[in-house]
Amino acid sequence: HCLLCQLRKPLKQPVVSKPIISLGVMTRLQIDLIDMRTRPDVVSVDVVYCWILHCIDHFSKFTWAYPLENKSAKEVVVHNTLVSRFIACSFYGINTRTSDTTKATPYEIMFGQHPRGDSEFWKIVKH
């Protein structure tokens, strides 16, 4: 290869040699802020919440999401706990899906029991 080709050739990025190890539930969290302002199909002038605070427990893979009006530190810390039912249903599906790695659901790892559906709850309450 010529000198110009060698100079243009991208450098190889080093691969992370150590995996991220989590020793238990709630010992390591991944937190992301998702900007919904760039989604014209989702956000309109009437929408108050333009950000989503997304949290994942690294060990159990349990997932939370909270709508935010802005990304200020105060708003992130004192988040609004009203999650739309569409997001809640999606996260319920994620949190109750069995993982190939752990052979359990994130819900089971997080709370030590199987998640109960509404029908199971009402059966218990009636008896």
Cβ-proximal residues to 27 (8 Å cutoff; 6+ apart), any chain: 58, 59
Is the pLDDT at 81 greater than 50, yes or no?
A: no
Average pLDDT, the chain: 76
Burial class of residue 94, CB neighbours in 10 A (0-12, 13-18, 19+): middle
Residue range 23-126 forms a domain whose CATH class is alpha beta
| pLDDT confidence tier of residue 86, bands split at 50, 70 and 90 | very low
The pLDDT value given to residue 82 = 42
Q: Where are the domains of the chain?
A: 23-126
Strand order in the sheet with 29-35: 29-35, 51-57, 63-68
| pLDDT confidence tier of residue 43, bands split at 50, 70 and 90 | low
Q: What is the dihedral of CA 87, 89, 93, 94, to 10 degrees?
A: 20
The pLDDT value given to residue 83 = 42
Is the pLDDT at 87 greater than 70, yes or no?
A: no
Q: SS3 for 18? A: coil
Rg (CA), the chain: 21
The pLDDT value given to residue 90 = 67
Answer for the pair 37, 18: CB distance below 8 angstroms, yes or no: no
The pLDDT value given to residue 89 = 64
Is the pLDDT at 119 greater than 80, yes or no?
A: no
Answer for the pair 110, 25: CB distance below 8 angstroms, yes or no: yes
Q: Give the global pTM.
A: 0.51
